[in-house]
Structure 1
Amino acid sequence: MTTPQATDPAPVRLHGVRKVHGTGEHAVTALDTVTLDFPRGTLTAVMGPSGSGKSTLLHCAAGLDLPTAGRVELAGHDLGALDERRRTELRRDRVGFVFQAFNLVESLTAAQNVELPARFARRRLPAAQVSAALAAVGLADRADHRPSRLSGGQQQRVALARALAARPAVLFADEPTGALDTAAGRHVLRLLRTLVDDHGQTTVMVTHDPAAAAVADTVVLLKDGRLADRITLDPGRPAANAATVAARTARLETA
């Protein structure tokens, strides 16, 4: 693994990002002038009360939506300067996504599910790259298994392998453990941490769970669309981290 240097440009940068849904008296400000970097080779957890802007932040940072004002830079590109085709290509080539729902195709094997985004893009993903992605999540021996033969945790790991197969500049995970039991969720979180530590994979994870956020390097707390707090963690102390995050989020919600 190559350790990121302090001078490395952040793969994702938000500058004064504002997002408003609706107009006039029905306008709702989902993000209110947020400036934030997600440094290379780190895991950042994004937390906050319901309606705080977590999902909107992820959507704008990943290029799934454009801000009303401000600028988002993704993998060195100003998203506002790109047309929809170029933004789509950038997401396809430089971004990985993992969601709470596994979104696997039941009729396809694990390996075929990993290949699927490339096939949609009319490209061929080398077999070695597919195998490497499955091996990275501990499923090298499940390549030929369909989702019905995999546990929920294993299915989420296939979804993670699918996101990693294109070797993205940044991985966005939206509640990746939300549909898993405790043991499977811990396994997925350990994998995310390992990908950061061993492979320098920049990762941004939206979560409501302090225990999930405890594996992060930094926790960003949102409230009413604003950046309300930032917590720097020691990933080697998950229990203490979880307690710290729980206390700070509780304080934020009652403020």
Structure 2
Amino acid sequence: MEMRAVTKRYGQGGNTVTALDAVDARFAPGTFTAVMGPSGSGKSTLLHCAAGLDRVTAGEVLIDGVPIGGLNERALTRLRRKRVGFVFQAFNLIPALTAAQNVVLPLRLAGRRPRAGEVAAMLGEVGLAERAGHRPAELSGGQQQRVAIARALVTRPAVIFADEPTGALDARSGAEVLRLLRAAVDRHGQTIVMVTHDPVAAAHADRVLFLADGRVVDDLAGPVGAEKIAVHTARLEESAR
């Protein structure tokens, strides 16, 4: 997963806003990267552009070695379904479907039938084997996010993008979600890019990328402690004022 001189602008003329400014970033296979920065620094825009949810203004994004800028919408959607996983703060599970049905959905959309026991095994990995038949309303927030992680992992994507995955959870549930994301990297060689404002969450990553005004301003190789991350974050927020 790579971003080469990626620029993203919104608006036109005097109302143009540069959300990303010539960002270069490479996310090596089997690594866990946290993206941090002050409000308005470009974190969410980076994630959306890296995942192909937003088209870039300039530069190039490569997913699994494929430059996505020249793909039409159908080809881009097909690539995302097969090679990209998502975990959102709001879970984004389909209320009418059971946990198992939510997990199998990316496989169905990618045109692949699940192997025997594949979905059950995936739910087992996130500790929800006994909840396969439960709908989201019957699950706690932490359990719903674990279903979302299983859903993201089931296609074994090239990269998983996580947008504030612990933002709606209590500390205990959040810690369990972070443990599962870390395990996906360590056990399965999964690549994860996570946007977060929480230094404790970022401390689970191998690397922390800091943004300010749409640019990469610092890049800490880890493991990096939450205290050091908090200090860097405070400095960036102070300079942004």
Establish whether TM, by shorter chain, passes 0.5. Answer: yes
Confirm or deny: 8 A CA contact 2:81 2:109 kept in the other structure. no
Residue 232 of structure 2 aligns with an amino acid whose one-letter code is R
Structure 1's unaligned 5+ residue stretches are: 1-11, 236-240
Give matches, 1:77-92, under 5 Å. Answer: 77-92=66-81
Residue equivalent to 2:158: 169
TM-score (ref. length: structure 2): 0.95
In the other structure, the counterpart of 2:138 is: 149
Partner of 2:226: 242
Q: Give 1:176 deviation, angstroms.
A: 0.4
Deviates more, 1:214-223 or 1:135-144: 135-144
For 2:215, which of 186, 207, 226 is the aligned residue? 226
Equivalent-residue separation in structure 1 for 2:207 and 2:19 (angstroms): 22
Map of 1:1-255 to 2, 5 A cutoff? 12-121=1-110, 123-234=112-223, 241-255=225-239
Query: Which amino acid letter does the alignment assign opposite residue 76 of structure 1?
Result: G
Q: State the partner residue of 1:8.
A: none
SS of the residue 2:117 aligns to:
helix
Query: How far did residue 120 of structure 1 move?
Result: 4.1
Q: Deviations over 1:95-128 (max 9, x none)?
A: 0000001112222211011112333455433342
For residues 81 and 231 of structure 1, the distance between their equivalents in structure 2, rounded to whole angstroms, comes to: 32
How far apart, in 2, do the equivalents of 1:94 and 1:119 lie?
14
In structure 2, what is the Cα distance between the partners aligned to 1:243 and 1:38? 24
The DSSP-based 3-state class of the residue aligned with 1:80 is coil
* 1:125 maps to amino acid: P
Measure, in 2, the Cα distance between the counterparts of 1:51 and 1:127.
Answer: 45
CA distance in structure 1 between the aligned counterparts of 2:181 and 2:16, rounded to whole angstroms: 37
Secondary structure class of the residue paired with 2:95: coil
- CA–CA separation in structure 1 for the residues paired with 2:82 and 2:194: 19
**8 A Cα contact 2:106 2:155, kept in partner:** no
SS at match of 1:244: helix
- Aligned residue type for 2:74: R
SS of residue matched to 2:193: strand
Q: Is the 8 A contact 2:37 2:43 kept in 1?
A: yes
State how far apart, in whole Å, the 2-side matches of 1:23 and 1:242 are: 40
Is the CA contact (8 Å cut-off) linking 2:3 and 2:26 kept in structure 1?
A: yes
Q: Secondary structure at the match of 1:249?
A: helix
Question: Hey, what's the Cα distance between the residues in 1 that align with 2:205 and 2:211?
Answer: 16
Structure 2, unmatched stretches of 5+, are: none
- SS of 2:53's partner is coil
